Structure 1
Amino acid sequence: MYKLGIDVGGTNTDAVLIDENRNVIADIKCPTSGDIYDGILAALRTVLAVSGVDKSQIRQAMLGTTQCTNAIVERKNLAPIGILRLGAPATLGIPPMVDWADDIRQICVESAVISGGFEYDGKLLSPLDKEAARAFFQRMKDKGVRSIAISSVFSTVRNDHELEAAELCRQVMGEDVHISISSEIGSMGLIERENATILNAALWKVAERFTEGFAQSLADEGITNVDVYLSQNDGTLMTMEHARRYPILTVACGPTNSIRGASYLSRLQNAIVIDVGGTTTDFGVIQNGFPRESSVAVTIGGVRTNFRMPDVVSIGLGGGSIVRQQPDGTVTVGPDSVGYEITKKALVFGGDTLTTTDIAVRLGMYRLGDPTKVAHIPEDLARKAMAAIGTMVEDAIDAMKVSSADMDVILVGGGSIILPEKLAGAASVIKPDHFGCANAIGSAISKVSGTFEQLINYDETPRDQALEQAKTQAMDLAVSAGAIRDTVEIIEVEDVPLAYYAGNTNRVKVKAAGDLAN
């Protein structure tokens, strides 16, 4: 039995095949095309040809894609939506999408704020205005809208009204309407949670296209006896159905795949991971084998959100970054890059643009292309460029650390050939085998998770009892998502006291993960 992992990046589409013992059978890189499915098909066909495996033995296929991120950033292919907030009169002062840019605000056909919602302690704020909700949904149906975002004040405490409104929406607009509920997507903070819900609602067409497209690509190649999964941004997998319902969870799955792949290849459970692509370098932290989650609000395409996101820092440095010598003799690197055209424009490939890859080849760090084409580069210039690269990377390493102690560093990504072997702040620098396709490997070996999050008053339920119940529910959620129960383990436990709540109320969050059933 084999697993197929594919990760679509901005520069390359990577594919990998691993066997049931998680041994890498074949890994390849193909340039990402304008139409990502052409790139996926090319990568799929190449890895099958290189490996020579029997297609019928591929039982699981995992895809990591940047499609949702790109749709938000580029303002393309977003579906028109309706937004219903349950929170009048308390939240009327700040309307939905209040701080959104005009070019993306246009996705909203109509928004409304009606009575409903709860106080921070779970008490009723105002009764749900069912008639107003029905009237809103009828207007959306009449206007041809097929996706609705529903948010409610303090819905992470009680989501009764959100669920009731969602049921009303189905009654009015039909069972095939796409409904995004804020309590299922974001965390505390009405505006940020609502923003994430709006983005999720607008991504349904994108999700439908890439899920169906990936399944069709597999079918076209005769890979039919296969379970298909999508990568999430917490380093675990979700089913096709789950991806269509929560496409926002695929945002930033690329860096998390690389982090998971780096941990697997290096056998390290705690380290800083540096993933160098053709255009950018992502820095993340692996904690107990999973990516560290960001603890602050994250902005996606100019929209402030608070749903779970990996703690990742990106800088404009990659294998295709352009190197320039300034009039005063200083050397700059990036942030602009030749990207996927590196095989045409870099000097070692016969091009006319000096890139970081040319610098690495000139200094003898890696053999690629035709080294004679960079022999004319002055060594002084090359060393200044490498020093600039080192400074950029070391500053980012310091930004990722939570203490002054040195940490192990894992280098992955095809562009990591440009980084020096020694870095300040690193206890060790490791570049494992198959480093170039760590993202696809991370996708292929990912586990299935379940996350339980709830506000619990420890005066009513003792802390030990509450945490045990939360762990059990998180493990059950992982099993229901497709994990083998015997392999499920708790990977994260967090309880944070909420000072502004009555009593001893804490936000309890527990995540469990296990191996995917074969």
Structure 2
Amino acid sequence: MPTPIYKNFSSLKLRRLIPHSSRLFLYIGDYINRGPGGTNTDSALAEAIFDNGSAQPTVKIISSSKTATTSDVTSGICSVVQDLLSKTRIATSDLLSINIGTTHFVNAIVQADRSKLRPVGVLRLCGPFCREVPPFGDFPEELRRILAGPIGYVNGGFEIDGRTIAEIDENEILNYANSLSDAGIKTVVVNGVFSPLDTSPVTQEEQVKKILLGAIPDLDIVCSREIGRLGYLERENASILNASILAFGRVTISRFQKAIEALGVACPLYLTQNDGTVLDAYSASLAPIRTFSSGATNSLIGALFLSAIHESGSTIDLNKSQVIMCDIGGTTSDFAALSPSGLPRQSPATVKVGGVRTAFSMPEVLSIGLGGGSRVYRSENDNVKVGPLSVGHLLTSESKCFGGPVLTATDVVVASGLGHLVKGHTSKLADLDEKLVDLARQDIRKQIENGIDIMKTSDLPVVLLLVGGGSIILMDQLENVVHCLQPAYSDVANAVGAAIAKISGDIDTIIVPGQQSHEEIKQIISQQAIDIAVQNGAQKSTVEVMEVDLIPLQYVNNGAMRAVAKAVGHLRWDGEYHSDQNTRVDSTEADTDNNANISQSLTKGLIPTIDREIISAYQPTVSKATGEWLVSPIDLLFIAEGNGVLGTGGGGSTYSAYLDSLRVLEEFGQGKMRIVDPKSLSPGAEAAVVAFVGAPSVSNERLTGNDELRYATEALGRYKGLTNFAGVIAGEIGGSNGMRAFAVATTMGLPVIDTDEIGRAFPKVDMCLPFIYKAVDPCPAVLSDARGNVQVVVKTENPAKFENMARCIAVELGLFVALAMSIPSEVVSKYCVHRSLSLSWYIGQAICTARAFKTDIVDALIAVVPGGRRLYSGKIVDVSRQVKGGWTIGTVTLALDDELKALQSQNGQHADERPLQLQYQNEFLYAALKNPDSSLDVVCTTPDLISVLDQDGAAVGTHELRYGLRVSVVSMPAHPLWKTAIGLAASGPRAFGVDLDYKEYGVDWQEPESVIEAFGV
């Protein structure tokens, strides 16, 4: 069983509690909130009552308090606690816990506050792997300059099936410790490949931690497996952010504890975390990142409790409704939604914190610039807009109703006759005409309605929970809401949510089923999650399993699967906690000092800065002398975006391959990374074809070394007796493989050729066009890994046999292996898809431009793809998947987007409200509208391209599909070689076992415009 994320609660001091009728157990929750009058510290006092023999108490809120937030962190907390105790005359001895939600830690990251952040060293346990992207490589420059410490690569790590990549070498660890000492670094992250799956009694990361502490006893060490799940870069990034605020976290939490002790309160302190549960103070000091996004979660949990819609007597059927919360403050309105599990709906697997890509679990929150302090604007043509700019905490001095010069949303409330809600002065608004007030109210209502529409996941009736100090600005009925509930204490819903927060237990591991059924495995991991929740301090009788999932792994022969479970229960109110040294978070103010003389890493940031001006003025560089396209960082960004779209849901993420290409470009310099037109190849020339073969789940965790593809390509050249190749071709343009040619070509001094063998992504090597048409054999071919294992496959009886052999080699070498093949220029000319890199570039340019200028991304994309179509815009309402024969197969269903439905109606079009069904086998195979009788009207099928984009225009892989995600589906015609009898036999629906005929696309494929020709004149 994996080590629990949370510390054992035996460290907490609490007297023994003897339940009896009407005994009071009190909670206080504090959260920093943006109310209409500025930033406040809110609090709420909850009472827990239970009768003899009851399993759970009845909880109710008995008082609340608000005070202005103070810069010293603690006095505001003391003030609200004292106010509550004074108003209720509750004895401090009756307090069971104080729960605090805070934004201090995430603010330090977002603001890149050097005074609160420490530089961090990073030690990767990876053997020869994980070189393609260096630590801090994708950090924003300002944050990277503050945080980037010494980096090290040492032996260690695991394969996905549990095999060890390399054993820990103590001498390597001690050498790295010396580099930390020399640089004066006090904080380090240890990140092992597949470390979340390490179930050893003493994990590799813990072994390394022990060695480092033996060398430098005062180090702060963060083991990545205690912070994040699978996804190497994202887990490492989250661990770095966590490590950087450890010292500041100790100081802050210590201040919280001292403030509480100064009040004479002896109960334990908890901090609320992102999923709506709580963490004891000591554990929070070890993982402050877990509190980063607890605000909206607390508000949602509080709103649910205050509204009582979860209770048996409620008239609202939660199975037939969707619950959305809107928390309106002084500057923003935050929307969050309740998931079917009863917990806040979580964001996609990848989220950014302070511009840093992480895979940390956080609630899905939509924030819009609308609050009590929002400025009201009136244009010359009489349009009225509220927000997004706000007077914020200056409301009581800047707003007109308080004698200031600025017209705000709060003034609209006062002018509407509701001045008593904010103690504003109607006389100050005598010159405000009714039409302006009406138009402002309409805009406020429309913005809230739009926010609700974005958060909706189905056509079920919406129950809106309206909370927050600024909620008074919504004065009109909402069209898309069946119930709008604003319960008592709604202005401090975040504090209520913190006060009643529960405690959880999580498990995430890999299991080989053996003789166990799936149901038996679910029971086992569910019980393990329950046990962890109890160990963490939950009352056993209240613990429930909220989530349990089994996710099959690709390309494994033993049926291995990832098992995930989460259990949640009330904080324990019976029994006794024993104290030990971990109860108190001890810290000194000096802990936050950031020594300006510390020697930091020389690693460079890789991500280029892109804004409207840069995009508008940018043109690629094409050499007039050679006709070569000289690739820049911006070109790579555009191509990576386009590759994601052409991946049609498969091919793996382009992200790490894009960063690897940027790294090589930085190393070799501008002008060394080149693209040439396929027509430039000389007769009889040989081009290398490169790709990786294996599982995306491995490529996202066991990053590549620097040289696998080069090893394979050079070995192939030696075997064939070639001095060099004419250039390098991507095996497939879609997904990760579409970017892999750049690094290997540049390191070998070769150009990349503007073509590929498929024109999209497909799951198998033998599905490349030259092999389908028997124009060339895949062999000889070479497969290689970062350890230096090189396998030459001289001859196979057919391409399908080579595919099977390549998969076997991939399994032996860790389910991800480099592949190099070659084809003559004549085959490139006749059987490859030309200008596919150019098409990727144009797609990426369209997406990035639309993203920068806030225009419709899908319209921009299809405008640059001849025959491109928008098939659907909607929300995912159902996802099913399994692994069969080594491939991920499944079905996703989308419900129509309300905005698109309204747009169709405005244009006089009939809105077809049927859901869309997509089926995939690694890549999307067909799109079909689903009739009421479950029959299908097919819209598009393979080999034509079907891609899914999220709201930001990023391509969504089939493994990233999740319930509630708002997406658009686009289609593009396939190359004519796929439309022949031979092509359709290999790539049509029936080639994938789908009982459908090919759906004629209706638009012919057109060769994309060449970037070289367009910009080379």
- Fold match by TM threshold 0.5: yes
Deviation, 1:502, is 4.4
Contact 2:349 2:360 in 1 (8 A): no
Distance 1:460 1:93, change over 3 A: farther
| 1:493-515 Cα deviation digits (max 9, x unpaired) | 22223335444333221111111
Superposition CA RMSD, Å: 1.9
Any stretches of 5+ residues in structure 1 without a counterpart? none
Equivalent residue of 2:222, what SS?
A: strand
Contact 2:150 2:183 in 1 (8 A): no
| 1:202-245 Cα deviation digits (max 9, x unpaired) | 1102211221111111122222x211111111100111111011
Which of 446, 458, 461 in structure 1 is aligned with 2:501? 446
Which of 303, 306, 315 in structure 1 is aligned with 2:368? 315
Which of 319, 325, 329 in structure 2 is aligned with 1:277? 329
- One-letter code aligned to 2:209: A
Which of 183, 186, 205 in structure 2 is aligned with 1:162? 205
Cα distance in 2 for partners of 1:54, 1:280 equals 37
Which residue in 2 is equivalent to 1:23?
60
Any stretches of 5+ residues in structure 2 without a counterpart? 1-24, 50-58, 311-317, 574-1017
Cα distance in 1 for partners of 2:80, 2:557 equals 56
Deviation, 1:375, is 4.0
- Spell out the pairing of 1:54-73 with structure 2 (5 A cutoff): 54-73=91-110
Cα distance in 1 for partners of 2:76, 2:406 equals 25
- One-letter code aligned to 1:305: T
Larger Rg: 2
Equivalent residue of 1:23, what SS?
A: strand
Which of 506, 511, 515 in structure 2 is aligned with 1:456? 511
Which of 105, 124, 136 in structure 2 is aligned with 1:97? 136
Equivalent residue of 2:352, what SS?
A: strand
Distance 1:419 1:115, change over 3 A: same
Which residue in 2 is equivalent to 1:49?
86
Which residue in 2 is equivalent to 1:403?
458
Distance 1:132 1:296, change over 3 A: same
Equivalent residue of 1:122, what SS?
A: coil
Cα distance in 1 for partners of 2:295, 2:454 equals 20
| 1:292-345 Cα deviation digits (max 9, x unpaired) | 222331100000100111111111111111111122221122222121222222
Contact 2:544 2:569 in 1 (8 A): yes
Cα distance in 2 for partners of 1:121, 1:346 equals 62
Which of 483, 506, 514 in structure 1 is aligned with 2:561? 506
Contact 2:551 2:561 in 1 (8 A): yes
Which residue in 2 is equivalent to 1:335?
388
Which residue in 2 is equivalent to 1:262?
303
Cα distance in 2 for partners of 1:64, 1:337 equals 24
Contact 2:372 2:410 in 1 (8 A): yes
Cα distance in 1 for partners of 2:447, 2:204 equals 49
Which of 474, 484, 503 in structure 2 is aligned with 1:429? 484
Distance 1:410 1:41, change over 3 A: same
Cα distance in 2 for partners of 1:396, 1:502 equals 46
Contact 2:349 2:361 in 1 (8 A): no
Cα distance in 1 for partners of 2:443, 2:169 equals 60
- One-letter code aligned to 2:432: I
Query: Do residues 244 (structure 1) and 285 (structure 2) align?
Result: yes
Equivalent residue of 1:156, what SS?
A: helix
Contact 1:86 1:153 in 2 (8 A): yes
| 1:418-477 Cα deviation digits (max 9, x unpaired) | 124422332211111110000001111111111111122335642112111111111111
Contact 1:9 1:65 in 2 (8 A): no
Which residue in 1 is equivalent to 2:405?
352
| 1:178-224 Cα deviation digits (max 9, x unpaired) | 2211112112211111100111111102211221111111122222x
Alignment TM-score, normalising by the size of structure 2: 0.49
Range that drifts further, 498-507 or 16-25: 498-507
Which residue in 2 is equivalent to 1:218?
260
Equivalent residue of 1:96, what SS?
A: coil
Cα distance in 1 for partners of 2:475, 2:177 equals 58
Cα distance in 2 for partners of 1:111, 1:485 equals 44
Equivalent residue of 1:478, what SS?
A: helix
Equivalent residue of 1:40, what SS?
A: helix
Contact 2:419 2:426 in 1 (8 A): no
Query: Do residues 469 (structure 1) and 524 (structure 2) align?
Result: yes
Which residue in 2 is equivalent to 1:290?
343
Which of 377, 400, 406 in structure 1 is aligned with 2:432? 377
Range that drifts further, 117-126 or 430-439: 117-126
Contact 2:75 2:259 in 1 (8 A): no
Cα distance in 2 for partners of 1:506, 1:293 equals 22
Which of 141, 151, 166 in structure 2 is aligned with 1:111? 151
- One-letter code aligned to 1:274: C
Query: Do residues 299 (structure 1) and 342 (structure 2) align?
Result: no
Cα distance in 2 for partners of 1:343, 1:264 equals 31
Cα distance in 1 for partners of 2:471, 2:295 equals 16
- One-letter code aligned to 1:116: G
- One-letter code aligned to 2:196: T
Which residue in 1 is equivalent to 2:870?
none
Distance 1:457 1:196, change over 3 A: same
Deviation, 1:352, is 2.1
Equivalent residue of 1:470, what SS?
A: helix
> Higher relative contact order at CA 8 Å, sep ≥6: structure 1 or structure 2?
1
| 1:343-366 Cα deviation digits (max 9, x unpaired) | 222222222221111112222356
Cα distance in 2 for partners of 1:75, 1:379 equals 45
Contact 1:259 1:290 in 2 (8 A): no
- One-letter code aligned to 1:327: E
Contact 2:441 2:476 in 1 (8 A): no
Distance 1:349 1:494, change over 3 A: farther
Deviation, 1:62, is 0.8
- One-letter code aligned to 1:216: K
Cα distance in 1 for partners of 2:167, 2:239 equals 22
Query: Do residues 121 (structure 1) and 161 (structure 2) align?
Result: yes
Cα distance in 2 for partners of 1:27, 1:380 equals 38
Equivalent residue of 1:118, what SS?
A: coil
Contact 1:263 1:286 in 2 (8 A): no
Distance 1:499 1:379, change over 3 A: farther
Which of 118, 121, 124 in structure 2 is aligned with 1:82? 121
Which residue in 1 is equivalent to 2:176?
136
Range that drifts further, 355-364 or 271-280: 355-364
Cα distance in 2 for partners of 1:364, 1:467 equals 57
Contact 1:257 1:443 in 2 (8 A): yes
Cα distance in 1 for partners of 2:477, 2:399 equals 25
Equivalent residue of 2:207, what SS?
A: helix
Range that drifts further, 107-116 or 255-264: 107-116
Contact 1:27 1:47 in 2 (8 A): yes
Range that drifts further, 287-296 or 497-506: 497-506
Deviation, 1:262, is 0.5
Cα distance in 1 for partners of 2:365, 2:457 equals 14
Deviation, 1:73, is 0.3
